[in-house]
Structure 1
Amino acid sequence: MPHMSESVLQGMFGGGSDRQFDAQELAFEAMEAMASGDYEAAAAAATRAAEIDPNCIDALHILSQLGSENKAELVENLRRTVDRAEKNFGKKFFRENEGIFWGLLETRPYMRVRAELASLLYDVGETEEAIEHVEEMLRLNPNDNQGLRYSLLGWYLELGNLKGADHLLLEYAEEGSAMFAWARVLARVLDDDLDAATAALSEARDANQYVEAYLVGRKRLPKQGPGYYSPGDESEAIVCMDAIGGAWRKHPVAKKWLKSQSTRS
């Protein structure tokens, strides 16, 4: 992450203290070091930031990552960091800023660490708790600048939560991504509405034709995902599989149906 200008940083803290300003600058340095793989420098900068400002969430986030020996420990450390941020903001802040959270720069460290916590909870099998975190984050920031809706949709479908999936599909009805298009197919198969599933399949193929080969096993996913993707491209198909591929794998009946449709196309 590039350094923010002094004016932007001052805006984050509403003209706040030099202590907060200096700590956040060090936290950004730590984030840059983490991105480049220099963990020693990241630890040093994050430690210094936390010493200057014990409530510097980005610094605490990095120290949680570096100081955890396994996923279970990291979950607990991230939970503590999220709790710290929420206490710092206070309940009134959440009430007054629901819906515009990401637009407030000072909330972004909190949103970053909570997003990682949700992802990690899913990794360790705590999908219901992961869903609760992301649902709340989307209430705080319905514009979803972090792209959390894709994982949430996959998690809903993985658990067979069609009510949650359909609500999300409706909430982002204008969403034209392959992730949503292929999720609609799965949702309608699980709903046993095969006519609607067939119609959704046609739209999904138009949205991204490459996804189907991965879903039915004609093609294997690469070991490493793309650094970026383009709509309709194979790179998007790989990202799509990361978001909702697990949901398709959880429902063999849906894969069987899709294979039957593939042989007819």
Structure 2
Amino acid sequence: MKKSQKTVETLSRINLDGTELEYNLKRSSRSTISIMITNTGQVIVSCPLQTPFVYIEKLLFEKERWIVQKLDEIREKPSAIIKKSFNNGDLFYYLGKPYKLKLVENNITQKPKVRFEEELMVLEISETEDKDKIKSFLKNWYKSKAGELLVERIRIYSSLIGLSPKKVAIKEQKTRWGSCSSKGNINLNWKLIMSPLPVLDYVVIHELCHMKEMNHSGNFWGLVEAVMPDYKVYRKWLKENGCNLSIE
């Protein structure tokens, strides 16, 4: 049996853009070299075991502008993306607007319900101390609202564009806001219900246009722009704010 080679990890430094950058260097039996930047700003370089150090530094210098730009974007993002505790005051988004959670114990009705009062998302529930129950209900509530609205927007834009999907599924996708298969089936992420309506519409239009152009060519973006001339604004919003669309 062939013995697998271990991964060797070291912490290295390099001066980029006048600043000393610390990065994690991972050497393994892989055949290619890559640079990854995590959401927390950690730079990771993965490379084959025998890659010369001078080549690693050369690649980092070549990617200097990209690395600096990505790190700046991470620093500029709100640092207050705090894990939800499902207590009063937690921030939740609905159609692009932030609401503070207010828990109200209601033992009369067994079924939890959500209502809005100005800047508050009021959740009436029988057990306000049961955080797992609160999380589960809110997730299902969001999914239900997303299903209703996304199907409605698909219907509106399908009629406008002249393209109708064979099937629409509302899912929880880790890395995508939407997808379109070659069979004409469209998947949409339920978390879109937390974004402003024009952003949600942009994703719907994007996936519908993929039914005609299964790529990101100039023709594809031309189709998107014909329906939504300012789509770049909403595409940028999603890129910059998508990390806030979560109930975790």
TM-score, with normalisation over the residues of structure 2?
Answer: 0.26
- Larger Rg belongs to: 2
Q: Give the structure with the higher percent helix.
A: 1
Q: Give the structure with the higher percent strand.
A: 2
TM-score, with normalisation over the residues of structure 1?
Answer: 0.24
